[in-house]
Amino acid sequence: MTDTKSPLFPEIQPYRSGHLAVDNGHSLYWEECGNPDGVPVLFLHGGPGAGLSPTHRRFFDPSYYRIVLFDQRGAGKSTPLGEYRHNTTPLLIDDIEAIRAMLGINQWLIFGGSWGSTLALAYGQAHPENCLGFILRGIFLCTKAEVEWFIGGMKWFFPEVHAEFAAAIPEDERHDLLAAYTKRLFSDDPAVYMPAARSWARYEGGCLFLKPQANAVDEFEKDEVSLGLGRLEAHYMMHGAFMEEDQLIRNIDKIRHLPSVIVQGRYDVICPPNTAARLHSAWPESKLHMIWDAGHAAMEPGIATALVRATEQFKLQRRFD
């Protein structure tokens, strides 16, 4: 690892990357890093719509892992940016399978945080035979209660951030902020959808960390991030992630035999710890690590350390302690 200040592995560049055309005009950016002959691991980013960062490559020992990352539909370098049509959880699962087949991978470790944990569980339950195990962070199951919390409940901890989020909507529409934002985010007029996307992204960015991080809000507000994040988060929340209510808990038996670790910030306001506790209760074989001095973000020091520890444990033992 690089230094004592960061638990992450050194910065690396992809040895291979490209775009994969899927359906209805969507094209997925993908990349591979690390050891071409190593144990495959798939990184699933959050949001939905948040896209990749070079930092995401650094949770894994590049001498051991064949690290596969991709921007999901409508996110990051995938095109069209912010496209919510023909964008559902079953289609994302199909995309993962298309990438696996393209790369000739039989099985891989699945690593996902926040929305990435949702997609990891959904993919695993659809294709358990292709999974070696799971490393999950900041658990989000996209239940109605979680969506309601995100839209309205976070004001109990971040009242000033939520007040700004609500203020972007006329007062007579604030009784249903998700519907009001959706109407604007799905407009065809950039003068309408871009301010809504920036406001949505600013709201989430302002609640990510236990201690305020101004640069997090700045990053989220960039057009190339906020459009995918705002549109796709609203899209998936409006449709319950295109799953039945609590589907991921009910179907947990499909993956209970696989090793798993859950890393959860104790003071995660975006994805509160009760969801991780529910998942662990339904999946008692999983290992739950509650990080006492952390919020939601993967780069909270305690969370990043626990995630790297999990990738190292799997590397050595193919299980988690």
The answer to whether 233 touches 49, Cβ cutoff 8 Å, is yes
Q: How many CB atoms lie within 10 A of CB 20?
A: 16
Kindly name the residue from 268, 280, 286, 289 that is annotated as catalytic: 268
For the CA atoms of 139, 141, 145, 149, the dihedral, rounded to the nearest 10 degrees, stands at 40
Examine the residue annotation and report whether 114 is marked as an active-site residue of this protein: yes
Tokens 């960039």 sit at which residue?
222
27 is catalytic: no
Q: What distance lies between CA 85 and its chain's CA centroid?
A: 19
- 286 assigned to active site: no
Give yes or no for a contact between 144 and 240, defined as CB atoms under 8 angstroms apart: yes
Rounded distance between C-alpha atoms, residue 28 and residue 86, angstroms = 13
Q: Nearest Cα to 58, choosing from 105, 8, 92?
A: 8
Q: Which of 114, 199, 260, 286 is catalytic?
A: 114
Distance CA 112, CA 59 (A): 11
Q: Which of 223, 291, 317, 199 is nearest to 7 (CA)?
A: 291
Cα(236)–Cα(211) distance, rounded to whole angstroms? 28
> Which positions are catalytic?
114, 268, 296
